[in-house]
A and B are shown apart, each in its own frame.
Chain A
Amino acid sequence: MPKTHIEFRNVSAFYGSKQVLKNVSFEIPRNTVFGIIGPANSGKTTLLKTINRTLDFIGGARFDGEVLIEGESVAAMKNPNELRRRIGMVFPLPVGLPMTIYENVVYAPRRRGITNKAELDEIVERCLRQAVLWDEVKDRLEMLGTRLSGGQQQRLTLARALSLSPEILCLDEFSIAIDPVTTMRIEDVLKELRKTMTIVLVTNLVQQARRLADNVLFLWRGEIVELSPTPVVFSEKPKDQRTYDYVNGIFG
């Protein structure tokens, strides 16, 4: 298998006439954690939305250039839903679907036609364990997902994203509603998951990127400031002075 899993080639993204990604090109290696940091409004979430083409759902939004997964351009794919099933996506706002916890997790597998109860049970337990939610909800799987607390719903969202065993997992600020102890446990799980999937981690917590990521991309106003291995980014001498300033909190 080629080492590059996801490749961005001269990608520019627009909301109407406003350009939010400016000609970015980079590669994400397979089975690594790829950290993306940068202040608000620098195009991080848009970047994730180009990978699974959910940008299609936003009126007036489009992107130029090519996003390649396994060398295949996502824009050329005939069935974007199939693409989305290969990519687990967790956005910052916790969303429990208005159905039971159990049904939340098996939502995507059911839509793929899996009806075997034992198989579904297995998926539920595996995903909830991976999202560090199993112990809290194992006795009340029939409870509505929307009744969980914000942090629990966030982990439920993560469990749902893992339910199809995706090859790519995109996490956008997955930990903002989760307490630090649980976050650490999820981070341990992510280190495990890296063996089977490529993880794209967008985070405002630069220390989280430092703990987890193999490479870190610093995005600023839709442009790449720096893409380096994590030790370089957090060293005294990154390639760009702005990176040093940002990770040390003296940017601006």
Chain B
Amino acid sequence: MNAATNANPFAASEFEQRKNRRAIVMKWVLFGFCAILVIPLVGILLDIFIKAAPVLSFDYLWENPVNKGKQGGLWAPLMGTFYLVIGSLLFVAPIGVFAAVYMNEYARDGWINRIIGITVTSLAGVPSIVHGLFGVGAFVLFMLPAINRVVADPNDRSTKWEAGLLTASLTIAVMNLPVVIASTREALGAVPQAFREACWNLGATRWQTIRTVVLPNSLSGILTGIILVVSRAAGETAPILFTGATFFRFVEDQGWGKIFPYRPAEPFMAMSMHLNIISNQISQMPEKMKFGCAAVLIGLILFINSFAIMLRVWLRGRKRW
């Protein structure tokens, strides 16, 4: 009996052993890249929340900023961001969804449609400061004077429309429009073409088909897309910097004035703006106030995004085909 027959016939060959070692090495290399991604993120979150811990409380959210934000809470900017988000959604949701429905369900797949599609995609990649400048030009310098010519009384300054929630919401809406259109088109495209054809064969009009089959079955996907742009609306500073946000504004501390602190056409406070100013414009700002503001903003965005995640899980559970 020689050595060759003694050996285990199923033992890995030299070649296979090399491959196995290689596979293990690759696994750890890839894990390493993943760690590079995760470690800074966790580090940042921990750093912010630990430094913010001393101020985080219910009162911190409920009270208005005092003494340039060195004391007090975040109520006024929080409300500003809230109404900014709602305002921008009022514009972006209907326009984005219906535009996407037209592009996906009605327009023929010609070169015009394709150019519009490419334009929308590229627009989604434009830096937010560019959208901000567009907002200044289109809404603050063009739209507001046009409105004021009609509504404002030259002798009464209080009737004049200023840059505020309206202009900032429009600017944010323009910024988010391409994102909503893209995500809505994706959701509509996920509905099989066979469903539409089956309806058309039954004599249903295009709109009946959209209303009864296409929209109900893409609604959750559309909503997920919209919720994701909400967090962008809440977090961006550049688009609102010159279109209505201001650093400080007196806000009532009680009554309805606390719930509805801003009129649409007057400057407002917002979380991203507030954080931007208190972290580098005000001297002797306590560290905990800066980090507190950052922590609340991050918490807000995580809260909104978790809605999108829950919606997606729910959507997966009730997929109908």
Contact = CB atoms under 8 A, between A and B. Distances in A.
A98 B217 contact: yes
B44 interface: no
Interface of A: 52, 54, 57, 59, 81-85, 89, 91, 93, 95-99, 107-108, 111-112, 144, 146, 157, 160-161, 163-164
A29 B181 CA distance: 50
Contacts of B198: 95, 97, 157, 160
B199 interface: yes
A81 B213 contact: no
Interface stretch (B130-138, B164-172, B201-209, B259-267): B201-209
Given A107-B212, A144-B320, A146-B321, A95 B195 contact: yes
Contacts of A89: 201
Output the residue of B109, B204, B208 with the most chain A CB within 10 A.
B204
Contacts of A85: 202-203
A81 B197 contact: no
A144 B195 CA distance: 14
Nearest to A52: B201
Contact of A95 (B108, B109, B194, B204): B194
Given A54-B200, A107-B202, 6 more contacts: A54-B197, A85-B202, A97-B199, A99-B213, A111-B202, A161-B201
Given A98-B213, A98-B321, A144-B320, A93 B201 contact: no
B203 A81 contact: yes
B123 to A, nearest CB: 26
Interface of B: 108-109, 194-195, 197-205, 208, 212-213, 217, 320-321
Given A59-B109, A160-B198, A107 B217 contact: no
A142 to B, nearest CB: 13
B320 A57 contact: no
Contacts of A146: 320-321
Nearest to B319: A98
B202, B208, B217: most-surrounded residue (chain A CB, <10 A): B202
Contacts of A163: 202
A97 B197 contact: no
- Interface hub of A59, A99, A144, A163 (most chain B Cβ within 10 A): A99
B197 A59 contact: no
Contacts of B202: 84-85, 107-108, 111, 160-161, 163-164
A112 B202 CA distance: 10
A81 B109 contact: no
23 contacts: A52-B201, A54-B197, A81-B205, A84-B201, A84-B203, A85-B202, A95-B198, A97-B198, A97-B199, A97-B213, A98-B195, A98-B217, A98-B321, A107-B199, A107-B204, A108-B202, A111-B204, A111-B208, A111-B212, A112-B203, A146-B320, A157-B198, A161-B201
